[in-house]
A = this chain, B = another copy of it.
Amino acid sequence: MRKIRKFSAPEPSMRRLPAYLHVLTRLLRENRLYVSCTFISNELYLDPTQVRKDLALTGIVGKPRVGYSVEELIDKIKAFLGWDVQRNAFLVGVGNLGTALLGYQRFRLYGLNIVTAFDKDPRRIGKTIFGVDVLHVDKMTNLALRNKIDIGIITVGEDAAQEVADLMVQGFIKGIWNFAPKTLIVPDDVIVENAQLSVSLGVLTSKMKLSQTEKNMV
């Protein structure tokens, strides 16, 4: 029996999907037509059943003894991640990180199209960075309403983050990608994904510390 599409997926699974895509695009370049869970699990040091269950989320159906079609699998994963459609985004905060994101070509692969950037600093306003115009943040809400913007990227400091989020909500932006070290308050129908660098660094340094402690004990 076919399972009914769930409205949520395990977040750990979602976080693994992009890694599968990296392996798969390489295989596509190498002109491989089929791939098995076993192969992917070896490449990424994961349990094969886990890979199978993750891939099943996308609705892919494999052939026993053969595996999955590489091309089809890529399409299904992209579709599952929502990377099969283009999404227009506004970016607020053209500091170092914001600038880097504006220049990150790879976002095209994920359907992310940064349309315009915003800032408060007059020295930045009026510039064009990697082909993206920088306007005053006051203009954002109205432009978002007029142009149907899907995603708001917040790369301002923690002090301004909530304020910027409020403006995005007013502009009917339904997805916020928040790089500021601040927990944002938004209505229920707005999705916030936090992408603080500190989280990742904390996991690394914490693990380094723990492994150091372990070594001292042995």
A181 within 8 A of B: yes
- The answer on a CB contact under 8 Å between B183 and A45 is yes
- The answer on a CB contact under 8 Å between B207 and A193 is yes
- The answer on a CB contact under 8 Å between B198 and A18 is yes
- The answer on a CB contact under 8 Å between A81 and B206 is yes
Write out the residue numbers on chain B whose beta carbons fall within 8 Å of the beta carbon of A207.
Answer: 175, 191, 193
Write out the residue numbers on chain B whose beta carbons fall within 8 Å of the beta carbon of A99.
Answer: 96, 100
A22 within 8 A of B: yes
- The answer on a CB contact under 8 Å between A205 and B96 is no
- The answer on a CB contact under 8 Å between A202 and B158 is no
Known: A15-B202, A82-B202. 11 other contacts (CB 8 A): A7-B213, A14-B202, A17-B206, A81-B205, A81-B206, A83-B202, A97-B100, A110-B198, A151-B205, A151-B208, A191-B204
- A contact set with B: CB distance below 8 Å: 5, 7-9, 11, 14-15, 17-19, 21-23, 43-45, 80-83, 87, 95-97, 99-101, 103-104, 106-107, 110-112, 150-151, 158, 174-175, 177, 181-183, 189, 191, 193-211, 213-214
